[in-house]
């Protein structure tokens, strides 16, 4: 065969090959695209497998005004992802015999009002307590520092919405009461208990109650999308200590993923308690469609989201593949964070290989068959 024909044939074969992205590149592209398309100031993702494989990255800005980039180390507010952390702390004390899922709350918090006497820890962890959530007629934004005991004053004198166990009604305040139960049962302040018994064994040092009086170079600034979707930096920063158990924590994306893996792999609870925590709870005959402190997706995978000033985040534990997925942003609003999580999951579960589509040179990601 003439030499020039060999060259032409080789060039034709080369042109038919499309080089695939790595999983990491596909996830980074998804994150970059999401930040740009949804006017998010900064975001980070983390994916952690039970074999220790970890991928984490950031996009956009940790501090837009200072042009400081968001990275894997950026620390974000968790919002309601604080609830699974609080639930695990409480269940550790159940294992130790210091708390009970079923006994009256007043057995652990004696000064709790009699009007709430039928409450149990299980009611609190499954949002079946009847304790209210935020309402327009009550103040639910604070700028001063709260102790856990003081946080109960926000709602403790309000009548229950219904008899405990009668129905499901989401409540962040209920987890403030759980935090107080943890303090009385352990003899430790809630922040100290979480740091020692949850964050330390999970190897998640940035997972802690937010305290903005302490400087942290990796802590993100806070932004909120206004009417036209453009993000505005928070001028008045809410002090979230008044809801420490239900929405008062912070962490980096990798450390939150490590917490999720520690929950899955029984480093924080024994296997029996872990299985029960992740089961759909039937409370007083009511199907809550939730675990203890966790939401459950259609396949029974534990997950939870968070949204507050300067925060929109999601975490999911895929039990089948034993993988934890975390997406976090510093921008509050209605941007579709679930789409970002799904794109990260899709990229991670995809197989990346050479394709033979003649004439294409762009990157391709081919899902596993």
Q: What is the pLDDT tens value at each position of the chain, 369 positions in all?
A: 554 444 444 444 444 344 467 889 999 999 999 999 999 999 999 999 999 999 999 999 999 999 999 999 999 999 999 999 999 999 999 999 999 999 899 999 988 888 766 899 999 999 999 999 988 667 777 888 999 999 999 999 999 999 999 999 999 999 999 999 999 999 999 999 999 999 999 999 999 999 999 999 999 999 999 877 789 999 999 999 999 999 999 999 999 999 999 999 999 999 999 999 999 999 989 999 999 999 999 999 999 999 999 999 999 999 999 999 999 999 999 999 999 999 999 999 886 543 333 322 223 332 332
Question: Which range marks the domain in which residue 187 is found?
Answer: 21-352
Task: Look at residue 182 and tell me if it is in a domain.
Answer: yes
d(CA 89, CA 175): 11
Task: Look at residue 2 and tell me if it is in a domain.
Answer: no
Taking only the tens place, the pLDDT of each residue in 186-241 is 999 999 999 999 999 999 999 999 999 999 999 999 999 987 778 999 999 999 99
d(CA 114, CA 286): 24
Q: Which residues of 273-304 are buried (b: 16+ CB within 10 A; e: fewer)?
A: bbebbbeebebeeeebebbbbbbbeeeebbbb
pTM: 0.89
Q: 136-144 contacts: CB < 8 A, separation 24 or more? A: 141/238, 142/238, 142/239, 142/241, 142/242, 143/236, 143/237, 143/238, 143/239, 144/239
Token pair in block for residue 284: 């007083």
Task: Look at residue 366 and tell me if it is in a domain.
Answer: no
Closest to 131 in 3D by CA, of 108, 154, 99:
154
Give the CATH number, domain containing residue 275.
3.40.710.10
Task: Look at residue 33 and tell me if it is in a domain.
Answer: yes
Task: Look at residue 9 and tell me if it is in a domain.
Answer: no
Task: Look at residue 15 and tell me if it is in a domain.
Answer: no
Number of domains in the chain: 1
Task: Look at residue 5 and tell me if it is in a domain.
Answer: no
Task: Look at residue 320 and tell me if it is in a domain.
Answer: yes
Q: In sequence order, what E strands does the chain have?
A: 17-18, 42-49, 54-63, 68-69, 75-77, 208-209, 223-225, 231-233, 249-252, 282-283, 286-287, 295-296, 302-308, 311-318, 323-329, 331-332, 350-351, 355-356, 366-367
């Amino acid at each position: 065969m003439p030499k020039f024909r060999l060259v032409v044939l080789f060039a034709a074969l080369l042109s038919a090959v499309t080089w695939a992205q790595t999983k990491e590149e596909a996830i980074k592209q998804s994150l970059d695209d999401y930040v740009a398309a949804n006017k998010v100031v900064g975001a980070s993702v983390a994916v952690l497998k039970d074999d220790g494989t970890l991928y984490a990255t950031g996009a956009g800005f940790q501090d837009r005004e200072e042009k400081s980039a968001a990275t894997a180390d950026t620390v974000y507010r968790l919002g309601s992802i604080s609830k699974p952390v609080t639930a695990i702390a409480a269940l550790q004390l159940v294992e130790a015999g210091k708390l009970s899922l079923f006994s009256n709350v007043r057995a652990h918090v004696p000064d709790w009002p009699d009007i709430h006497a039928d409450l149990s820890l299980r009611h609190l962890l499954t949002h079946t307590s009847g304790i209210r959530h935020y309402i327009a007629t009550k103040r639910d934004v604070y700028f001063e520092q709260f102790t856990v005991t003081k946080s109960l004053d926000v709602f403790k004198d309000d009548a229950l919405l219904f008899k405990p166990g009668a129905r499901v009604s989401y409540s962040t305040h209920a987890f403030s009461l759980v935090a107080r139960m943890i303090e009385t049962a352990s003899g430790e302040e809630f922040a100290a208990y979480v740091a020692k018994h949850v964050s330390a064994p999970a190897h998640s040092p940035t997972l802690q109650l937010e305290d903005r009086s302490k400087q942290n170079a990796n802590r993100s600034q806070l932004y909120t999308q206004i009417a036209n979707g453009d993000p505005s930096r928070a001028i008045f920063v809410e002090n979230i200590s008044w809801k420490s158990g239900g929405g008062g924590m912070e962490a980096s994306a990798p450390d939150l993923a490590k917490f999720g893996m520690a929950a899955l792999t029984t480093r924080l609870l024994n296997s029996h308690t872990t299985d029960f925590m992740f089961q759909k709870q039937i409370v007083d005959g009511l199907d809550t469609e939730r675990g203890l402190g966790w939401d459950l997706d259609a396949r029974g995978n534990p997950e939870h989201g968070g949204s507050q000033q300067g925060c929109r985040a999601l975490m999911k534990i895929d039990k089948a593949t034993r993988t934890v997925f975390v997406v976090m942003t510093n921008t509050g609003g209605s941007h579709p964070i679930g789409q970002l999580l799904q794109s990260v999951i899709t990229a991670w579960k995809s197989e990346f290989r050479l394709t033979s589509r003649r004439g294409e040179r762009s990157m391709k990601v081919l899902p596993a068959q």
